[in-house]
Chains A and B, each alone.
Chain A
Amino acid sequence: MQAKIPNERKPMNETDLTQLQNRTKALVSRILGGYGLQKKLETLGIRVGCEVEKLSAQALRGPIILKIGNAQVAIGFGMAKRIIVKYTDMGQKDANHNTKNDN
């Protein structure tokens, strides 16, 4: 599952979850993966169009902690790389406030 992480160009306002700043909200815009991955992510409420907030990330390509609705979810780095998000206006503002957060 980790093998090929697509490295395509993304528009300016898009990024993947590993690149998103901590404590930032964003909308899921695409999921780079097949039916299996989409179904798996859906069980914990991650699907195109939903809002997620990245809370923290473990060091050295470790898991990433997300907040979806009221629930927190930990997902592996490779999986997070496949989730492309779009900054929401609010999220962009938050991101500017939090530039000191490392990623």
Chain B
Amino acid sequence: MRKILLIGNPNVGKSVIFSRLTGVHVIASNYPGTTVEYTRGYMRLGDEKVEIIDVPGTYALEPTSKAEKVAIEMLKEGDIVVNVIDATNLERNLNLTLQLIKKKVRLIICLNFWDETKHTGINIDKDKLEKILGVPVVPTCGITGEGIKRLVSQLIKPKISKYEYETENKWSEIGEIINEVQKLTHRHHTIWERLGDASVHPLTGIPIAIIILYLAFKIVRFVGESIIGYVFEPLFENLWAPLMLKLSSLLGGSGFIHNVLIGRLIEGKIEFVESLGLLTTGLFVPIAMVLPYIFAFYLVLGFMEDSGYLPRLGVLLDNLMHKLGIHGLAIIPMLLGFGCNVPGALATRVLDTRRERFIAATLMAIAVPCMAQIAMIFGLVGKYGSGALALVFGTLFIVWIILGLLLNLTLKGESPEIFVEIPPYRFPYLLALLKKLWMRVLWFLKEAVPYVLLGVLVVNILYSLHIIEFVGRIASPVVKGILGLPREAVGALVIGFLRKDVAVGMLVPLGLTLKQMVIASVVLTMYFPCIATFAVLVKELGITDMLKSASIMIISTLIVGGLLNLILR
């Protein structure tokens, strides 16, 4: 099958063009041997089915990051290259174009954001550009779909450019091209641009950031709670529970098989959080308690990503984050970590040095609970009011800051500075946003549900073999003595390695006091990453650094848990 590559700088609207060209069926996968993710899809070109690949954004063909290395590797496999250009930034974008021309690839140029050139006072003579470079040039507007049909019709006639230049004269050549094809006229600032300036200005930026993050939190909680309250809880309580009760009596109400599938009945009823059966807790926790929050979180995050707000947040937080040995862009792995620590760990790649990646990954794994765990904490600790929630998350925030300061002081080396493009604010293209949301939710279902089921199964096996009791007795001095938790909480700590949401759920039948609940929530977040995150961190950091990171986690958990046990009453 022939391959079409979409290649271009970051923030040129490549993904929107990709969404327009491909159908619903889109696959995200890792480039072989790396953790760099890219998406591919398929389209019909006449009678032929072709593969379309959305190559990670790159500014140049000289690799400075893993993602750029992958982009260059992919270039070798492509049959047709579509160079997506931000038409409002022609000069800088042509840098990559000229480098592509040097590679003698079969090329088509797509001038995206064509509509924006009109009201930004830019006039590009696309016919002249086509003539100079000798490859098809198609103006498009990804959001409205304008020009996409023409792009498709040009896909069958890419050309190898005959344009020749010396590498050292590249910028003067670009300058000449710009002089030939582009004319600028004066124009006024748009409201989006004023808003853009205000949200990075030191005086107005921080209040705006606080409002945005507060709203984001509120929306996630509102959407999550609504879906749970109106959809999943009624569904499980009214439809699924009676069905399970029937199955329970069919299985005779007890025995190993019954316990594995249905779990323990509590006062003759199924308690979806406590029963711990594969078909009860194993389905209820991921689907009815966690999934709604995952959906809500990625919906809000998608808006923040696609509107262009995240780099601005990075700039605002840069100073604070430098004190922790990482720069402002490290806010991206942190935010992603709130969804799931696995993509959070993968996103540490936006940082340049090993030291930064180590600090960011450790801080994320230790102090950023994933949405699955947050959802469970909301559900269980939230009953005691927002004060209890504030205590849990406040403690984690303080740990994040103090541990970062300590790591920055003790680890050798310095942290490089922020260096990032701030794209203009754009209203997200909803189809692309929903596609991304769908891929993330699907990914959660595929990754999480099997682990939750496995976790529930393991709990049952461990309990019936009395292993948790045994470990509990051994770990009692630490769990009871230092952390002030009952011995049975060890079960949750063991299962937390598989799934943290199941682990939080396991605390319910223990009848913990509020203080113990807070300590257990903090400890479960900090003590160790779940197995999926652990595996990714080993890959990203290497085994030695991961062991270092893990010891930091265990030691700080004991210190923080112990302190909480002393301070709280």
Question: Which A residues are in CB contact (< 8 Å) with B424?
Answer: 72
Question: Which B residues are in CB contact (< 8 Å) with A90?
Answer: none
Question: B327 to A76, Cβ gap below 8 A?
Answer: yes
B242: interface (CB < 8 Å)? no
Closest Cβ of chain A to B75, distance in Å, is: 17
Question: A43 to B414, Cβ gap below 8 A?
Answer: no
Question: A43 to B122, Cβ gap below 8 A?
Answer: no
26 A/B residue pairs, CB under 8 Å, sorted by A: A40-B419, A42-B95, A44-B59, A44-B419, A45-B92, A45-B95, A49-B171, A58-B202, A59-B202, A62-B202, A62-B318, A63-B417, A69-B89, A69-B91, A71-B92, A71-B422, A72-B422, A73-B419, A73-B420, A73-B421, A74-B315, A74-B422, A76-B318, A76-B327, A76-B418, A77-B417
B62: interface (CB < 8 Å)? yes
Q: Which residues of B line the A interface, CB within 8 A?
A: 59-60, 62, 64, 88-89, 91-92, 95, 120, 122, 171, 196-197, 200-202, 311, 314-316, 318-319, 327-328, 414, 416-424
Question: B418 to A63, Cβ gap below 8 A?
Answer: yes
A17: interface (CB < 8 Å)? no
Q: Which residues of A line the B interface, CB within 8 A?
A: 1-3, 39-40, 42-45, 47, 49, 55-63, 65, 68-79
Q: How far is the CA of A77 from the CA of B315 in the complex (A)?
A: 11
Question: A74 to B91, Cβ gap below 8 A?
Answer: no
| B196 nearest in chain A by CB position | A72
| B422 nearest in chain A by CB position | A72
Question: B171 to A74, Cβ gap below 8 A?
Answer: no
Question: B417 to A2, Cβ gap below 8 A?
Answer: yes
| A44 nearest in chain B by CB position | B421
Interface centre among B88, B201, B414, B417 (most CB of A within 10 A): B417
Question: Which B residues are in CB contact (< 8 Å) with A63?
Answer: 315, 318, 328, 417-418
Question: B60 to A62, Cβ gap below 8 A?
Answer: no
Question: A74 to B89, Cβ gap below 8 A?
Answer: no
Question: B200 to A56, Cβ gap below 8 A?
Answer: yes
A70-B200 contact, Cβ under 8 Å, with A58-B319, A63-B315: no
Interface centre among A3, A55, A72 (most CB of B within 10 A): A72
Question: Which B residues are in CB contact (< 8 Å) with A72?
Answer: 196, 421-424
Question: B319 to A60, Cβ gap below 8 A?
Answer: yes
Q: How far is the CA of A4 from the CA of B319 in the complex (A)?
A: 19
Contact of A55 among B64, B88, B197, B423 (CB under 8 A): B197
| A59 nearest in chain B by CB position | B202
Question: B315 to A47, Cβ gap below 8 A?
Answer: no
